Structure 1
Amino acid sequence: MWTKKAIHRLKSLIKLNNAQFVAIFEPFIDKKKIEGYKKFLGFQNCLSNDIGQIWCFWSTNFQATVISNKDQQITLAYVTAVYAKCTALERQELWDDLTDISNQIQSGWCIGGDFNVILEPSENIGGKIHRAYKSFDFAACMNKCGLEDAGFVGSNYPWCNNRRLGKRIWKRLDRIIINDNWLQRFNNVTVRHLSRTGSDHRPLLLKCYDSNNDVIKHFRFRHFWVEQPGFLDLVGQDWQIEVKGNPMWILQQELKRLGKRLSKWSREDIGDIFQKVEECEATLQQLEDVDAIDKNEQSRTELNKGQAEYVQWMAMQEALLEQKAQIKWFEEGDSNTRYFHNVIKDRRRRLQLHKIKNSKGKWLHSDEKISNSAIRHFKRIFNLPESAVDDNIFSCIPKIITDDDNVMLSKIPIEEEIKNTIFDMSSTTSLWA
């Protein structure tokens, strides 16, 4: 059942992970309302199967062509969302459909969802003992289609019937399977079983990407630092260190030293925000499991603390994404993380150098060759002999600025003007931005 709590959790996960495709199974909502949920979740496209048990949402970045739309699966281009029937006889139609689709897809293929069957006894706790023959059809289908399990991180059992302890059953009914071409397309594929909230199934989060080369990191002031305990004390202590010289030299040295202190403080006291969010997610899963079993005041208190910490780290992560995008929020409090992810990715794509032509007209492709060629080029132009400039060439430039204008432009600004300029700047503007 798709509760109000579950839909808001889903929206948060979509924003947090910049999801481009989402599949929802058995929402128990009239499929005619899918358009409204599409807008609420922030997607541009949606599709439901005829019986309304599979809903798919995707963004414009996800190239989707409908290949198959049946009761137990929807296949869009190279992704299949599965919600299998409860009996082996009914599931046979699904295995046949997947086999037919495998003959149409020659590229990478990813299948995920609720298969309503496990592959081995270790994927089940509680209830009746699993019989191997019940897995034969699923295993045979995977083998025939050239599919393999993508693995996972998190709880071993994404489904639980949530009954009392003596009747409780855990199973791995939900999984993601992929073919070899998918692995060739993405050198890093991870599946996470997220915490279960408002449903008897855990959400499955699939991330696929190619590992990027390490880049040189320059200092950037992070806006969320000012909200952290100890920030003001650190700045105050560092700013009291005496530096001698002219005012501009003092300011430059103060900022340089403070930047190093802040970088070290951020690494040691705050750490990797994105990793912290993942750690909090894992901790929250454990606390939810403990609370479900213990059901006492202490477990509930620990769970509430874990949720509060999780929300805090998510807020810091979104603040960081906002700053990286280097644009302002259009509406105070909005959390359009997907948009900022796209802005960041687009900027990185446009700024990335894949090749460069050297002074001899030869194209260089590797990062090392490109950087060495650039260094040699600038060394050469900065070490050229000084050339004489004929001042008479300036006579052709018309005189537009009057003497009075020149005097006004050359005047040193007074403190009040400097103060007004600084105070008129955006609250998120800094010298390191």
Structure 2
Amino acid sequence: MVERTLRACRFESWRIVSLIGVAGGLVLAWKEGVEVQIVSKKEYYIAVTVKDLSNGLNWGLIGVYLNTNEQVRAGQFQELSATIQQMQNEMIVMGDFNAIVSQEEKRGEGLKSWSSISNFNNFIDGSSLMDLGMVVRNFTWSNKRRGEKQILERLDRVLVSNSWLHTFPTNTVTRIQENGSDHAPLLLDTSPQIEKSKRRFKFQQRWCGVEVIRGVITEAWNSYFEGSAMFVLAQKLKLCRHRLVQWQQISKFNSKAYIEEILKKLEELRETGINGGIEVEELENMLEDTYGREESYWKEKSRIKWLKEGDNNTKFFHQSFQSWVRRNKIWKLEWNDGSFATSRADIALVAEEYFRDIFSSTNSTDPEVEFEDFLPKVSSAMNRRLLWPVSLE
């Protein structure tokens, strides 16, 4: 039955972990365009390595369906951790974990045991994984009941390593509507269509020590404008922003690109047998300075203030920034009819409609009627004194 369905869906190959009685069972299927190698499998997981033939990228994937029993699941977490460490790839671990990371991931009667929550969080942290979250709804499992007896939980998710997230930074996980099952399917898209928006200008801290920047700002600030003081200030700020953007576009201040250029020059010198001397020393000093600027840039974007610069924390700051972006991105907004808007245009319409409603009057009657019973606190004599012209006395 399963294989007939897979063929009907035009899958090229698959691996199946059979049911144990009426529980469990896993299917991993793939189409052409990828090479899949089975690393290991048990009754609750399939571990594979995947190679994308279109770009040559490799990563590890573990599909899971963990036990509902907390003690059994704790042992499965330990085995999965060992498998992840053994594979040493950019990793995805996804499926039904039968566990939640906090009580907020459950709605309905009863609470999950704190030991179950702690075990799951320890597995995620110990394996250096990150939850990608999901778009549309907050729960993936339902007991299919209504009213007070309904229970909703987020049992399914996609966990990834930091290195995988660095390779696929613009990914999305979408919860698809369930049909017949008590679980909702999840769709991971590694290259979704990104709606580009106009980037907001922001002065970067790493520019402060650049002499050219001082000249760009001085020239723009000394420009002459006519008008009020606030108008002149606004125009000077605007001109400074435009000049800095122009400078940024033509300068070689992209730290990442500049680092690659310096490393290439050093490698060329070393291939010719030059491992020391003034030229190598100058390039190494430039490389150290550029690494410092790159770290400063990602620290500023990540909003992390408790680590000092100079400790080679560039990768940490970059990952912190990516995590911050995912947390703060508006993935969806709910319409009045309960459906969800997920595209940028629809999200904007939901927000616009919401604020229009709360700032629009629903009662067009004269408001003066409501103030008729209010007694005045300022007498006529007090009002005349308040309106007297101001004098030096």
Regarding TM over 0.5, the answer is no
- Give the TM-score range, shorter chain: 0.3 to 0.5
**Higher relative contact order structure (alpha carbons within 8 Å, sequence separation ≥ 6):** 1
TM-score normalised according to structure 2 size = 0.45
The structure richer in helix per residue is: 1
- Give the structure-1-normalised TM-score: 0.41
